[in-house]
Amino acid sequence: MASKEQEYHYFKEKISFLESEVERLSPYEHEHRLLRDVIASSLLQGHLKLGELPQAIRLIQDDDLFYTYAWRFVEAKGDCQSGIIILKMLRDDLNYLFSIGKMSQKQYSQWLERWLSFLERGRIAFKGEKDFERYFQDQKEANRGLFNDYGL
């Protein structure tokens, strides 16, 4: 019985500690959102390139905002080469984070769907660009099952 009581007190202390940490860190949430908005805006305007951000920042939890804004910029500029770089970077980030256990199978699958979505958008935006068409075909060949699952 003493063991259950010790366990109860241990978890109660842990919960109390975590609650105090949340309270201590909550004032920084606003600054985090402001910084996130500045980074996103800089990507959208082309003042910052996605590759200049650390990998840990590019993929924040399940948020693809930075990739989306970087993609919108290269799509608007018609910059096929930068689009390919973004796609390669996203795929490399996903594979790396999954391989080291920082991403679950479910998260990995969700991010692959986003990657495919960017790839499909690129196919439309960069139609006629030989480099992009070659990249798309290479990816289609390398990921045949994935492409078939998504009807690409």
pLDDT, tens digit (0-9, with 9 covering 90-100), for 6-40? 887 887 888 887 787 777 767 777 776 788 889 99
Residue 39's Cβ-count burial label (10 Å; 0-12, 13-18, 19+) is: buried
Closest CA to 126 of 71, 89, 75: 75
pLDDT at 45: 94
Q: What is the pTM of this model?
A: 0.76
Instruction: Please answer whether residues 91 and 136 qualify as being in contact, where contact means their C-beta atoms are separated by less than 8 angstroms.
Output: no
pLDDT tens per residue across span 43-55 = 999 999 999 998 8
pLDDT at 1 over 60: no
Task: Name the maximum alpha-carbon separation found in the chain.
Answer: 73
Greatest mean pLDDT among 17-21, 27-31, 124-128, 144-148 lies in 124-128
Helix, strand, coil distribution of the chain in percent, nearest 5: 80, 0, 20
